[in-house]
DNA sequence: TAAATTTGACCCCA
DNA sequence: TGGGGTCAAATTTA
């Protein structure tokens, strides 16, 4: 609310100065843009949910923006206090398992974004420490994206990466940044569309509970098999990014209420395709897919809404 | 010298 | 109250 009130005040000032000093207007517009982006970032990351006592202890329970804001006074960060609330897996968060380049186990595959490490912790029950990263542009652009990286206990060449929030900084992955802007490849789009539409999920007999090994039953299958050369460019078009993926999955069932199992099918399907999209977007050599063979290795159902899906592309 | 990382301390939820 | 997440000063790196 504070940020948005500040935006309103800036817009008022901009209105007053329109037709006057162009430099001042430009500066006001830039500030409006920055504060708006920050607000979006705060809402997306639920930083607005800072409890009153946190705010009080930080001395920010009174309006934080100046009562007479100066158009050249810059944007205050004092009320953008971090939320130390324990992060649970939320809708929109993405958990992926990645390997280190060359399989050496040094560091996980670069995901294309620039991150700044801000902490690491020993995690109870895990052999490896968890590292915490935030977007490099958090301070300058209010980007709220964060990620956690932890080496897998069972395989030191693999890393579990959990992404929280989305990038509002407009960063592009190197793969996307190195090429000319967007001319989507219709062939690749239709390839992916057919891939997603042909994905079938058989969850018969599946019940919530501990980790289950589905590798023998192979509940996911693609039919017919897909062939082609999939690269970040021909999948999403030059200059496109993961977030502009052309994939749109139709709900497995119609209507707004559906049974838990159908909901599971829908979400599992979405998860699997997201993982595939992410895999194909990695800034790595083109991945040739012949006679695509996607098998589900393990599927973990934490409750009725959170799924941990590991897939291997053979 | 600025930017990035490390690390002990702190905050606060489960 | 323990432990996960974050802060921020100290340290390292480019």
Contact, A130 CB vs strand C, < 7 Å: yes
Best CA proximity match to A136, nearest among A169, A87, A174, A96: A169
Query: Which residues are paired to A221 by β-bridges?
Result: A200
Instruction: Provide the 10 A C-beta neighbour count for residue A70.
Output: 8
Average pLDDT over residues A71-97: 52
- In this predicted structure, the answer to whether residue A219 has a pLDDT above a threshold of 70 is no
What are the tokens at A132? 């915490």
Report CA torsion sign: A107, A108, A110, A111.
Answer: negative
Task: Report pLDDT for A132.
Answer: 93
Beta-sheet strands, E only, within chain A: 94-99, 115-121, 130-135, 146-151, 158-164, 199-201, 209-213, 220-222, 228-230, 287-289, 294-301, 307-313
Out of A81-85, A91-95, A207-211, A268-272, the most confident range is A91-95
pTM given for the model: 0.43
Contact, A312 CB vs strand C, < 7 Å: no
Task: Report pLDDT for A131.
Answer: 92
Contact, A139 CB vs strand B, < 7 Å: no
In which band, very low, low, confident or very high, does the pLDDT at A304 lie, cut at 50, 70 and 90?
very low
Q: What is the spatial distance, in angstroms and rounded to an integer, between the CA atom of A139 and the C1' atom of B3?
A: 13
DSSP letter (8 states) at residue A125: T
Among A34-48, A168-182, A245-259, the least confident range: A245-259
Best CA proximity match to A161, nearest among A91, A226, A107: A107
Nearest nt to the CA of A130 via C1' is C4
Contact, A57 CB vs strand B, < 7 Å: yes
Residue with tokens 């899906």: A309
Best CA proximity match to A185, nearest among A241, A248, A238: A238
Q: What is the spatial distance, in angstroms and rounded to an integer, between the CA atom of A130 and the C1' atom of B9?
A: 18
The string of DSSP codes covering A205-259 is T--SEEEEE-TTT--EEESS---EEE-HHHHH-TT--GGG----PPPSSSSS---
Task: Report pLDDT for A176.
Answer: 37
CB A268 within 8 A of CB A249: no
């Amino acid at each position: 609310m504070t940020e948005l009130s500040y935006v309103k005040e800036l817009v008022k000032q901009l209105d007053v100065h329109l037709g006057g000093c162009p430099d001042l207007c430009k500066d006001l517009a830039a500030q409006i843009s920055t504060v708006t982006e920050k607000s979006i970032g705060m809402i997306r990351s639920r930083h607005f949910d800072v409890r009153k006592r946190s705010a009080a202890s930080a001395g920010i329970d009174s309006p934080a923006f100046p009562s007479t804001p100066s158009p050249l006074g810059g944007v205050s960060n004092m009320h953008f206090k971090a939320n130390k609330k324990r992060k649970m897996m939320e809708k929109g968060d993405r958990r992926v398992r990645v390997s280190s380049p060359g399989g050496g186990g040094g560091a996980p595959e670069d995901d294309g974004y620039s991150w700044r490490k801000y902490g690491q912790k020993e995690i109870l029950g895990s052999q490896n420490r968890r590292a915490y990263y935030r977007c490099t542009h958090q301070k300058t652009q209010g980007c709220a994206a964060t990620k956690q990286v932890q080496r897998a206990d069972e395989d030191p060449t693999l890393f579990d990466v959990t992404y929280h929030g989305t990038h509002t900084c407009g960063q592009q992955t190197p793969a996307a940044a190195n090429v000319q802007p967007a001319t989507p490849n219709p062939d690749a789009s239709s390839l992916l569309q057919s891939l997603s539409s042909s994905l079938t999920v058989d969850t018969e007999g599946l019940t919530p509970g501990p980790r289950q090994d589905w590798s023998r039953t192979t509940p996911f299958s693609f039919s017919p098999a897909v062939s082609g050369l999939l690269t970040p460019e021909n999948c999403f078009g030059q200059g496109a990014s993961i977030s502009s993926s052309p994939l749109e999955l139709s709900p497995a069932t119609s209507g707004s209420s559906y049974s838990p199992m159908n909901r599971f099918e829908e979400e599992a399907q979405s998860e699997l395709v997201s993982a595939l999209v992410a895999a194909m977007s990695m800034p790595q050599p083109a991945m040739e897919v012949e006679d695509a063979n996607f098998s589900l290795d393990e599927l973990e159902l934490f409750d009725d809404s959170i799924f941990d899906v590991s897939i291997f592309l053979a």
